[in-house]
Amino acid sequence: MRKPIIAGNWKLHKTISESCELATQLVADLSDIDDIDVVIAPVFTALSAVAETLKGSSIQLAAQNCFPETSGAFTGEVSPDFLQDAGCNYVIVGHSERRQLLNETDAFINQKLLKVITTGLKPILCIGETLQQRQNDQMQEVLRTQLKGGLGNLSAAQMAPMVIAYEPVWAIGTGKTATNDQAQEAHRFIRNLLQQIYNSEIAAQTRIIYGGSVKPDNVAGLMQQEDIDGALVGGASLKVADFSRIVRFEK
């Protein structure tokens, strides 16, 4: 049985004090949650402070990105080792905004995944197609390329901490959401790919979550789908009431 995971990606929002205030409110509001992994991803500058705020709670901390080296002459970058030192449990890798705005390749994303896993952190690998690719019936081709490229050189044993987030780019920050059937179709395709790449055990154990304008009023329908194990939440994760309602979804 795969444990659901709801992760909030705060993107480039909230100062350190604002991040701590939001985290404090979430700790109080979600103190009774133990059957779902709740994860929040503040900006880099707030990670250590938010880690202190989360101490004693079940909410886990994620970084929004990393660089695939331990240390060195890499101005402006942050390694998984330093993220772990700051209190992180998870790292988001390959988010569509980084793929599009910063031209991150599958090969570079693969380097990050390998480094995250060897450091002992848990990666959330994001994959998904653009609107044009979906309209051109390329969804499966894109997911296959991104998944195989991202997971290259990862052994079956290294897949244990992996979370995969399907985020159709056309549904991120647009207010549009994939229908329940569209989301399930993509998640089932990803799970079948994992079986082809690894085996049925890896396919069955890997958590695959949906990201793309997840809100309190659509999360329940998504979570009813057989292959959807959670959500990567953007804008709604910045509001305590909305994020709490998403975490407390009822199937």
Q: What is the pLDDT of residue 172?
A: 78
What CATH number is attached to the domain comprising 81? 3.20.20.70
Q: Which pLDDT band holds residue 251 (cuts at 50, 70, 90)?
A: low
Average pLDDT over residues 2-20: 98
- Which are the catalytic amino acids? 95, 167
CB 216 within 8 A of CB 242: yes
Cα 83 to chain center, whole Å? 16
Give the number of domains in the chain. Answer: 1
pLDDT at 175 over 80: no
Tens of pLDDT, residue by residue over 68-123, are 999 999 999 999 999 999 999 999 999 999 999 999 999 999 999 999 999 999 99
pLDDT > 70: percent of the chain: 100
Q: State the average pLDDT for the chain.
A: 96
Q: How many CB atoms sit inside 10 A of residue 239's CB?
A: 15
pLDDT at 147 over 90: yes
pLDDT at 53 over 90: yes
Q: Which pLDDT band holds residue 151 (cuts at 50, 70, 90)?
A: very high
Q: What is the pLDDT of residue 89?
A: 98
Domain of residue 208 covers 5-247
Q: How far apart are CA 227 and CA 114, in angstroms?
A: 25
Q: How far apart are CA 190 and CA 153, in angstroms?
A: 18
